[in-house]
Amino acid sequence: MFSHDGSQAAHCVLAQNPENIELARFYCFTQKTISKRLVLRQDPSVKRTVCKKCCALLIPGVTSTVRQKRGPRRQRKTIVRCLSCGLTKRFPNNPKHKLWVDQPEAQLENQTSRDAGPSSKSTTQEEKNDIGSMSTIAKTSSTAQTNLIKPS
């Protein structure tokens, strides 16, 4: 998948020299803008490693801090704080929690095809009249076009 390329380059840059935060940020920003232009969805694992505000790569202990916190009703949360801009992200730490991408309903092959068209039995009389009037309009417009094309 394309969406990992920018973060992989940013990881390589920071692995070689941890002070190259600006170059890693540039790679993450470029990845984000290209995926927006091509209307691609980034994988949630990639989105969680990039700061939404400053596009910095979030590496625990280097560019971010990670804390575990208990919220109301004993729900645990993972809190990731960007050291560049201070933005915090909160993620539920529920083992039963599944992302939408990981659920079977999200997969394209598991969805029923609703666009196949209505069956002849379920078509109402109104829909039949609409379809009939559309075909009549199409016939008259094609006849009018051929009359315009014919030499007189």
Per-residue model confidence (pLDDT) at position 29: 94
pLDDT digits (tens, 9 = 90+) for 3-19: 467 788 888 988 898 88
Burial of 127 (0-12, 13-18, 19+ CB in 10 A): exposed
Q: What Rg do the C-alpha atoms of the chain give, in angstroms? A: 27
pLDDT tier at 148, thresholds 50, 70, 90: very low
Region for 69 from its dihedrals, namely left if φ exceeds 0, alpha if ψ lies in -120 to 50, beta otherwise: beta
Q: Could you give the 3-state DSSP secondary structure of residue 132?
A: helix
pLDDT tier at 132, thresholds 50, 70, 90: low
CA–centroid distance for 15 within its chain: 28
Opening angle at CA 73, ends 66 and 101, nearest 5: 60
How far, in Å, CA of 6 to CA of 36, rounded? 13
* Averaged pLDDT for residues 62-91: 91
Work out the number of other CB atoms within 10 angstroms of the CB of residue 27: 23
More confident residue, 30 or 118: 30
* Averaged pLDDT for residues 113-122: 51
Per-residue model confidence (pLDDT) at position 147: 46
CA-CA distances (angstroms) from residue 110 to 40, 101, 104, 107? 21, 13, 7, 6
* Averaged pLDDT for residues 115-123: 49
DSSP for 60-90, written as a single string? BTTTEEEEEEE-GGG-EEEEEEETTT--EEE
Per-residue model confidence (pLDDT) at position 1: 40
Q: Could you give the 3-state DSSP secondary structure of residue 91?
A: strand
* Averaged pLDDT for residues 123-142: 50
pLDDT digits (tens, 9 = 90+) for 22-66: 999 999 999 999 999 999 988 888 889 999 999 999 999 989 999
pTM equals 0.60
More confident residue, 100 or 128: 100
More confident residue, 138 or 100: 100
How far, in Å, CA of 145 to CA of 58, rounded? 62
